[in-house]
Amino acid sequence: MSGEFTYIACEGPIGVGKTTLARALGAALNARVTLEESEANPFLRHFYQNPKRYAFQTQLFFLASRYKQQLEIVQRDLFHQTTVTDYLFDKDNVFATVTLSDDELRLYHHIAALFPAGLPKPDIVILLQASVESLMARIRKRGYDFEAPMEVDYLRTVVETYNRYFFDYTAAPLLVVNTDEVNVAADPVELANLIEQLGRHKHGTQYYVPVARKSP
């Protein structure tokens, strides 16, 4: 199946399991995995403590970092036919819309327009979804100290913005996966089912609901 795709992007709100799934797909498909450099962003910790003051710096770091990674995707690894990422480059504008003031957003768009076009487009996007309650529980469970100040209202806004953005997304085939009950990356059967579903999905938007299995 991996030969059918050169670029698979995993997306979804904070805490939904994008990175875990990207790594699992990379291992299953013998693909190169490119992960967002969240922990390398020196402003992210400050952003969660004081969003208004640090939103613009945080966003510009992510814009530059994601752009650099996208350029590297163009230069494909000779030993891997497929690249899997835990983000879609377009998400940068999604988060900018959530975090920046009107003046900051205008400046952000001005700066973003200076970046040359021609970035790679994914062959398929996997959108992971979960309720705000599930996401917050996962964020608290993983215990990243810089995420501790995150408020539920902010997370709810992120989820709503994602839903609006992907409601009429047409840039690539979109596979929407509900993760409230099942961690697909941790379930070998469901991971295999998801990969099979990817191979069959050629256009438009489709939905996949994993099956929760009882532990033996």
pLDDT tens digits, one per residue of 109-146: 999 999 888 888 999 999 999 999 999 999 999 888 88
Q: What does the pLDDT read at residue 162?
A: 92
50 by DSSP, 3-state: which?
coil
pLDDT tens digits, one per residue of 3-54: 578 899 999 999 999 999 999 999 999 999 999 988 899 999 999 999 999 9
Residue pair 7/123 in contact by the 8 Å Cβ criterion: yes
Q: What does pLDDT average to over the chain?
A: 89
How does residue 77 score in pLDDT terms, banded at 50, 70 and 90? low
Instruction: List domains and CATH numbers for the chain.
Output: 2-208 (3.40.50.300)
The stretch 148-164 carries a mean pLDDT of: 91
Spatial distance between the Cα atoms of 84 and 75, rounded to a whole number of angstroms:
14
Residue 174 has pLDDT above 60, yes or no: yes
Task: Please indicate whether residue 86 is annotated as part of the active site.
Answer: yes
DSSP letter assigned to residue 143: T
Residue 212 has pLDDT above 70, yes or no: no
- Helices 102-112 and 51-74, axial angle in degrees (round to 10): 20
Q: What does the pLDDT read at residue 1?
A: 54
Residue 101 has pLDDT above 80, yes or no: yes
184 by DSSP, 3-state: which?
helix
Active-site residue, selected from the candidate residues 77, 86, 102, 103:
86
Residue 78 has pLDDT above 90, yes or no: no
Q: How far is CA 86 from CA 105, 106, 127, in A?
A: 24, 27, 10
Q: What does the pLDDT read at residue 59?
A: 95
The stretch 63-67 carries a mean pLDDT of: 94
Q: What does the pLDDT read at residue 117?
A: 80
How does residue 216 score in pLDDT terms, banded at 50, 70 and 90? very low
Q: What does the pLDDT read at residue 79?
A: 65
pTM beyond 0.85: yes
